[in-house]
Structure 1
Amino acid sequence: MIRKQYVLTLLCLIFAVCTVKAQGELSFEKETHDFGTIAEGTLATYEFRVKNVGDQPIIIASVQPSCGCTTPSWTKEPILPGKIGVIKAVYNSTGRPGPFHKAITVSSNATAPTQVLYIKGEVGPKDLKTSYTPEQKAKSPRLAFGSTNYNFGKLEKGQKAIARFTIKNTGLQPLMIQGVKSACNCVNYRVSVPEIKAGQTAVLELSYMPMLLNEQNEVVTILSNDIVMPNLRLTLKANVVESLASKNMLREGKEPVPFR
């Protein structure tokens, strides 16, 4: 009888240990990102890449920044074992001159349910100009584009479209895209590689949602840590027309729907 109880106890312990171990675990490529010095008005953006190194799916329940100056977004789908998710942080530097150091709290069902990431840097003047020596310029990362124009053709008003550009770091140090600026505030971006090594290529995606009709030429400034040309410009072109969905809704039913 005693031997039977001993075996049952041992099996329960083994089951409990296995249950504890069967859990997801998040591993971040980096937990702190330094933007360096950026011009005031820049929407400084960085994507933290995180891998599930455990053996169970992980769901990121929330991402909470320490202030309203930082806007987060994150992978909403379960991150399966061995797969990678993204936590994106956008720091709005408008009206915030000086150094900044912000925390971003990540809550999930991982072994460590709460983890903290950090972004930091310094906000300089809007017309930030810094003097560099020829040696510093020679060692700088360099952002190069295969093409600086993209024509979407015809787009409906409010339709989200994506332009993809191939970029390359022709410099000697890792290249980081730090943000984008456009007059319409209707352009967001994503880079396939958060830090582009020397000689490496990557894909820059610009998502564009036009809200004005007719021919549009949106000039998008790409902000990077390329000290030689930190503000390269791209042009997005589109012929924007009224939404066809809106017209179809007006046609529904047997009788015409009057405007009110």
Structure 2
Amino acid sequence: MQTPPPKSNCKSILTCLLVFLFFQVFTGTLDAQEWAKKMFATLEHDFGTVAKDSMQEFRFEFTNLYKEELHISAVRASCGCTIPTAEQDIVKTFEKGTILATYNTKAFAGARGATVTVTFDKPYFAEVQLQVNGFIRTDLAFSPASLAFGEFSLTDKPRMEFNVSHAGNTDWMITDVRSKNAYYEVEIIERTQLVNQVGYKMAVQLKGNIPVGYLQDDLIIVTNDVANQEIKLPVSGKVSAPVTLSPSSLLLGITSPETEINKRLILRADEPFTIESLTCDYPGVTFRTGSEAKKIHIVPVTFNAGLSPQKIQATITAKVNLNGEIILKCPLSATVE
């Protein structure tokens, strides 16, 4: 007759089994989080130093890199200083989604930060943490709270006036205005000084070199305040062009190696124009264009999947000439497997 193993050995085996199962579940959870994190272009944003009551927003962009449709079941913030919104709760394969983080400068002041948690329940459960930080100054105010230009054409070059006021030291001065992009011409119209208050009336004009699409940027107001030298003023708008490109994106789906896919792009305007160049940062895309000026250009596009399985995220760039150079962009995506 076979003798049963000692109880101590049974306990050891059971303990090892439980530890193994724990690490399997724990590792699976980590893998799920990494799967979701890969979709986001960035996981953190610093609003910098901003004025009280100013409009501060940032969009965390993500791309569905997978075959299955995504569903966002919830978004939440660890602090009321940030209000998160899922602008699309369902995101299909290769489509983009955004999580809008609104920094609550009306109700809060000083150094504030929050963790925004995005919860996916389809195709698998996962949570992604996004970090938001900033510093809200109560002695500064912008009027209007942000430079919202709305929708405008490249040829409009819109101009907007705004006011900056500072309460406190009357030696406070604006020394420069900067931006990450050379889209703006800024001028100081006048500086006023009252008891314990300094005010500036300023103007910004947009140049003609802004790319077509949504504008989300900041003017950085540089001051002589050593402790808080820079303050951000948000700039937003939607730039439309006299030339349109359709479709707005080429979603080629799932294909096999060595496959060739033929599509077309349509460029359209009210006046005749020429195509100077069409390029793609994925080398397997070619175009057939003409040199004549006309109102509608129908351009054949050939996509070659290549030899190896891969996920392709690329951008098509069109440079056209209609009373000056205009740049249009079209995202391209495909999965080769």
TM superposition score category, shorter chain reference:
0.3 to 0.5
Whichever structure has more strand as a proportion of its residues is 2
**Based on CA coordinates, which of the two structures has the bigger radius of gyration?**
2
TM-score computed with the length of structure 2 as normaliser = 0.36
Greater relative CO, 1 or 2 (CA 8 Å, sep 6+) = 1
